[in-house]
Structure 1
Amino acid sequence: MQPTPEAYAELQQAFEHFNSALFGGQLADCLITLQRERRTYGYFSSARFVHHSGQRTDEIAMNPSYFAIRSIRETLSTLAHEMVHAWQFHHGKPGRRGYHNKEWAARMEEIGLMPSDTGEPGGHKVGERMTHYIVAGGAFDVACAELLTREFKLSWFDRFPPERPRSPLPSVGGGDAGEDDEDDNEGVDLAGLVELPPEGQVNRSNRIKYRCPTCAAQVWGKPNLRVLCGGEECGAAAFEPV
């Protein structure tokens, strides 16, 4: 199979499977795209595309940069997460821009993705920036396992993925476009845009910052570099990664 139809056919297959298993077939087909949107796993954008006939369709974007460094279950949970935003846009009442409301959180729980601002049990379920974790034995977990028994796979992934984030990525939902200002995209509703927290920023230069624990002098260098401070009061203290 050719790369383009193969990659997109797999995502379409997953969308159709989850639409049937988790949403009762309520969701209309949308245009699934692969986007290397900076610092995101994916997003939902309502009525983003228009056909020359005048027909409009939503967009669910997936970031292939992370396909190689996340499990297939984690990647597919992002797809399901964005499908919840699509469901709420057409069948519910989205919160104000950037806010994940109780309706969104309840629907996430129903499909077996627990909303949490920390990505761990006990986190807040609603708010400006949210993520989720997969509920063991929940609807998504069961549906995903059933899909994976069919030899399903994501065949194509980025050869040069970014550094895997050290903590779960919060998402900006309810129409908050993050860097994409809604004023610049009139009529466009972006939801579920995922941003890296400062601790897990992507470092394309492959350089990190080191700091002397005594005098706080700072240097930049490659990972795992050993640097000793030459300050008179520092006693050759080893610089620590910041």
Structure 2
Amino acid sequence: MIPTKDAYDELDRAYAHFNAELFDGQLPTCLITLQREKKTYGYFSAARFINQVDKSFTDEIALNPAYFGVVSLKEVMQTVVHEMVHLWQHHFGKPGRRRYHNREWGEKMKAVGLMPSDTGKPGGKQTGERMADYAIEGGVFEKALDKLLATSYRITWLDHYPWRHVDPAALQAALDGDVEGVDPANILSPETTAAPAPTKQTRAKYSCACEINVWAKPGLHLICGDCSQRFAEVEPS
């Protein structure tokens, strides 16, 4: 096994599959990265990378690997397609300002089988700054996903310490065994993770009677040149 190749080949394969099934193969290639953005499943960044040889650009779809072993594979693939819609809109539509998910984006999401919702559930707002989605039952996304899963598709490598970067509710559901296809044994919870070793103090604060402060290594004996009094080492709060 080659972990880097395994991980990125699997994501490239999913991108190519959904490009063919949901976008008629019209999307250009992009660079998929793994980024641990706290409580964020993924994001799209247009023309983020430049080729230093021919000066060409490629877009980025970033995915948060902390969620790979916490939510269902279906939800991870929803994130992939969600960001692919952003990529589609960048090349073929008119994106909203900054991170705003506008009506055009929402209509394309529905066209590929995902219902936009700011809550991730039925009845949520379909446009806004922060948007989730859910699969339309029997829609084209679900059908495309079924085709992918029929090839024994999986994500092999999972983050063993996801709790630092995922939503606490999602983590708890996974630990409780309430998420389809997620094995709680793959997740190390905060309670079973050793606390980080305390950092050694390398600088200390000193103050004298005339309220001059200096910072130096701990344990020194310093005299103020103005008041001729000894600096007192201040205990950190």
Q: Which amino acid aligns with 1:83?
A: M
The one-character-per-residue Cα deviations of 1:131-182 (angstroms, maximum 9, x if unpaired) are: 1111111111110111000011100011111255437xxxxxxxxxxxxxxx
Q: Which amino acid aligns with 1:48?
A: R
The residue that corresponds to 1:166 in the other structure is 169
Q: How does 1:155-194 map to 2 (within 5 A)?
A: 155-162=156-163, 164-166=167-169
Q: Which amino acid aligns with 1:80?
A: V
The one-character-per-residue Cα deviations of 1:195-239 (angstroms, maximum 9, x if unpaired) are: xxxxxxxxx965xxxxxxxxxxxxxxxxxxxxxxxxxxxxxxxxx
Q: 2:88 and 2:40 mapped to 1: Cα distance?
A: 21
Local SS of the residue matching 1:114: strand
Query: With structure 1 as the length reference, what TM-score do the two structures score?
Result: 0.67
Are 2:143 and 1:126 aligned?
Answer: no
Contact 2:118 2:128 in 1 (8 A): yes
Give the share of equivalent positions with the same residue, in percent.
54
The residue that corresponds to 1:114 in the other structure is 115
Q: 2:125 and 2:59 mapped to 1: Cα distance?
A: 28
Higher RCO structure, 1 or 2 (CA under 8 Å, sep 6+): 1
The residue that corresponds to 1:12 in the other structure is 12
The residue that corresponds to 2:76 in the other structure is 75
The residue that corresponds to 2:151 in the other structure is 150
Contact 1:8 1:32 in 2 (8 A): yes
Q: Which amino acid aligns with 1:88?
A: Q
**Backbone CA RMSD of aligned residues:** 1.7
* Residue ranges of structure 1 left out of the alignment (5+ in a row): 168-203, 207-242
Contact 1:47 1:59 in 2 (8 A): yes
User: How far is the alpha carbon of 1:128 from its aligned partner?
Assistant: 2.0
Contact 1:65 1:161 in 2 (8 A): yes
Q: How does 1:1-242 map to 2 (within 5 A)?
A: 1-53=1-53, 54-162=55-163, 164-166=167-169
Contact 1:69 1:164 in 2 (8 A): no
Contact 2:45 2:59 in 1 (8 A): yes
The one-character-per-residue Cα deviations of 1:98-118 (angstroms, maximum 9, x if unpaired) are: 321110000000011100111
Local SS of the residue matching 1:129: coil
* Residue ranges of structure 2 left out of the alignment (5+ in a row): 171-188, 192-237
The one-character-per-residue Cα deviations of 1:22-81 (angstroms, maximum 9, x if unpaired) are: 001111000001111222111100110111120110000111111001110000100000
Q: 2:75 and 2:133 mapped to 1: Cα distance?
A: 10
Moved over 2 A (4+): 163-167
Q: 2:153 and 2:118 mapped to 1: Cα distance?
A: 30
Q: Which amino acid aligns with 2:154?
A: K
Tell me the matched-pair count: 171
Q: 2:9 and 2:141 mapped to 1: Cα distance?
A: 20
Local SS of the residue matching 2:162: coil
